[in-house]
A and B are shown apart, each in its own frame.
Chain A
Amino acid sequence: MAESGDAPVDKPVQVKLVLLGEAAVGKSSVVMRFVQNDFSENKEPTIGAAFLTQKCRLEDRVLRYEIWDTAGQERFHSLAPMYYRNAQAAVVVYDITKASSLEKAKSWVKELQRQANPNIVIALVGNKLDLVQSPAAAGAAPAGEEAEDEEADDATATPGEGGEQPLPEPEQEGESLRQVPKDEAAAYAQEAGLLFAETSAKTGEGVVEVFTEIAKKIPIEHILASTRGGSGSRAGGAQARPNVTLQEGQQPAGGKACNC
């Protein structure tokens, strides 16, 4: 904030990041996972906004994320600009089991691209991945109504298996909760020039990677230059935004991962 002056190279680079998205998609939980590596099932809704920090190591640089976690309810919308105005990065979260939350995410992206810092790095994050990945044990559970529905779709079921209905694969059963197909969200992200990932704040899957990918894309030199200059100068030329899609497993664990 008020600190300025010539920072030595190993001093953390401050990166302001804002979290946006519909109510109850798990914004606070994603941050909690990133900052404290912790998860709690019933969290109080964020009223107003919450502020957290976390360091993130990227090759030879250390970034220090200053995170504004905002309230999701539409009524708090008028407070949001104050938090994203100077942000260098934004994580827009939706719930993959709730189609309407992606629409809300899209409208946030639009607002950011129109009103926020032109160089802002935006990541689209589909949270609650754990809800569509039922554990292996669920596959052995008695097939519920949902499973029957799946069955009806499965027209190619081999008749040779006798009267025994084949158990649906565990993935399928879980997938029925999913309302936002991964391809669809990824395609939108690509088109809009956003980073994209699916995460589970509950299991921790993909969360840290989101912040590492953002770190890679942040124009660090630009931030250093602007903080040295004392004012957040607005270099007009929009940074070229390569379309990067995060994929699980694409990244080596460790090494570049955040130290949290």
Chain B
Amino acid sequence: MQGHLRLKEGFNKVHEAQEKLDEHEEIDWDFWGEIMADYEHVARTKAKQLSEAIQKGIPGALRGTIWELMSASKDMMLEQVYAELLKESSPHEKSILRDLGRTFPNHEYFQDVQGIGQENLFNVVKAYSLYDPEVGYCQGMPFVVAALLLNMPDEEAFCVLIRLMKSYDLRGHFLPEMPGLQLRLYQFDRLVEELLPLLHQHFVRQGVKSSMYCSQWFLTLFSYRFPLDMVFRIFDIIFATGIEAIFGFAIALLEKNEDVLLSLKFDQILDYMKTGLFDTYKVYESPVSPSERPPTRYRADDFVQDAFQVKVSPFMLDTYAAEYEELLRQQNKHLVEMDTLRNVNRHLSAQVKTLESSLAQLNTEHCDLVKQFVMIKLEKEEMESELVKYKMLYAETMLANEDARSSSRISFLSKRSR
């Protein structure tokens, strides 16, 4: 409630200042005032009007506040947590520091190494890495945070980031293995196939996969290198309708450039995705003076309109998500199968090994036995020959004995006859 009051105060100030500044822009300040006063009520009772107003673009000065209202991010407790986290140090600090100067390197606010922009960026990203250690730090995240910081103070950006991660399901994009991103890429592929069949065909033939150009769109919510005024409009719609809004914008970009893309080859397509996509929305103004070129402007309203024309229904997305789940299940089943087979195989191999070793043992035992057998046989033969020898000896002795007896008998007889 307290936060609400503060917001309202802020609105009044902005409103006054703004009214003096630009009269040419047609902004329905009364309606935006109503929104600021009681967002919930307006969202309930004037949903259509609200959605139309957001499609036309949230006034820049109110943008941050409205984002906070739409995502219901105001949370004093969380801001307290943020303040506490700032005192801690994160294991990801080195990686975060390394990327600070590499986030929006061409934006004045983030250019100074000592500047408030990089400091805030570091603080929010570091605090988040501590707040959600499972996600920790992931490249791409600072771009989202930077877009927030250009519209609100750091502690509020921290709270909105947490909403984006949790309620808007951005967290899955940044988790290890990036399951959320993989799902979105699959859904996007199917959407292209369904809504832009010709282009889909062309991409398949050229070997262009959505992950080759789309990962950075989805991971940074298009803030990676696209014109900021377009990026903020995308954020407007994401906060209002949910993360699925990214599909509308992505498809719109392809659709708007379909003819060009169909005429390009693989490498030209990828190049064009990086640099050429927004050209169709460029406003070509004749320079006011020859020396001064006006800054590039884009027809952001048309872009948002085009994105809203894209027919992406929740039903389609759910169907594709279910397909993807099934695909994952199949893949998993396959993996599990492979795993069990591998296990069985390992088990069998082990068995073969034990069998082999016992066979080897049996073989050596067999060998030993054979050797013993041979030895015994040899012994036996030896004994037999010995036996024969003894028998012979015995026979000889017997013979000698006989001889001796007979000769003595003869002599006895001859003595008697004498």
Contacts and interface: CB of A to CB of B under 8 A. Distances in A.
Interface in A27-86: 40-45, 47-53, 66, 71, 73, 75-76, 78-79, 82
B270 A75 contact: no
A34 to B, nearest CB: 15
A257 interface: no
Interface in B379-400: none
A111 B88 CA distance: 36
B178 interface: yes
Contact of B139 (A41, A75, A79): A75
B212 A51 contact: yes
B178 A75 contact: yes
Contacts of A79: 211, 215
B105 interface: yes
A24 B100 CA distance: 12
A34 B214 CA distance: 25
B212 A48 contact: yes
A78 B178 contact: yes
Given A24-B99, A71-B139, A78-B177, A47 B267 contact: no
B25 to A, nearest CB: 32
Contacts of B95: 23, 73
Contacts of A40: 105
A238 interface: no
Interface in B167-221: 174, 176-178, 205-207, 209, 211-216, 219-220
Interface string B56-68: 0000000000000
A48 B215 contact: yes
Contacts of A141: none
A9 interface: no
Nearest to A47: B216
A47 B140 contact: yes
Contacts of B174: 75
A2 B139 contact: no
A253 interface: no
A49 B219 CA distance: 12
A42, A43, A78, A82: residue with the most chain B Cβ atoms closer than 10 Å: A42
Interface residues of B, number: 34
A48 B105 contact: no
B266 interface: yes
Interface string A148-192: 000000000000000000000000000000000000000000000
Contacts of A23: 95, 98-99, 139
A85 to B, nearest CB: 12
A1 interface: yes
Interface string B133-151: 0000011100000000000
B99 A45 contact: yes
Contacts of B98: 23-24
B377 to A, nearest CB: 56
Contact of A48 (B207, B219, B266): B219
B211 A82 contact: yes
Contacts of B215: 47-49, 79
A32 to B, nearest CB: 13
Contact of B102 (A2, A44, A49, A76): A44
A2, A24, A40, A75: residue with the most chain B Cβ atoms closer than 10 Å: A75
Contact of B267 (A24, A44, A49, A51): A51
Contacts, number: 74
A24 B177 CA distance: 20
A51 B207 contact: no
A27 to B, nearest CB: 13
B101 interface: yes
A35 to B, nearest CB: 11
Given A24-B99, A78-B178, A45 B267 contact: no
A71 B220 CA distance: 14
Given A24-B99, A47-B220, A75-B178, A66 B206 contact: no
A23 B174 CA distance: 16
Interface string B63-103: 00000000000000000000000000000000100110111
A76 B105 contact: no
Contacts of B99: 23-24, 45
A228 B267 CA distance: 21
A163 to B, nearest CB: 38
A2 B177 contact: no
Nearest to A48: B215
B96 to A, nearest CB: 11
Nearest to B219: A47
Contact of A76 (B139, B225, B267): B139
B303 interface: no
A27 B212 CA distance: 17
A166 to B, nearest CB: 34
B224 interface: yes
Contacts of B207: 1-2
Contacts of B216: 47-48
B224 A2 contact: no
A187 to B, nearest CB: 28
In order of increasing CB-CB distance, the 7 nearest A-B pairs are A48-B215, A47-B216, A42-B105, A51-B270, A42-B101, A1-B266, A73-B139
19 contacts: A1-B207, A2-B206, A23-B95, A41-B101, A42-B101, A42-B102, A42-B105, A45-B140, A47-B140, A48-B213, A48-B214, A48-B219, A51-B212, A52-B267, A73-B138, A75-B139, A75-B177, A78-B177, A78-B178
Given A24-B99, A48-B216, A71-B139, 16 more contacts: A23-B95, A23-B139, A44-B225, A47-B216, A47-B219, A47-B220, A48-B215, A49-B215, A51-B212, A51-B267, A66-B267, A73-B95, A73-B138, A76-B139, A76-B178, A82-B211
Interface of B: 95, 98-99, 101-103, 105, 138-140, 174, 176-178, 205-207, 209, 211-216, 219-220, 224-225, 265-267, 270-271, 274
Interface of A: 1-2, 23-24, 40-45, 47-53, 66, 71, 73, 75-76, 78-79, 82
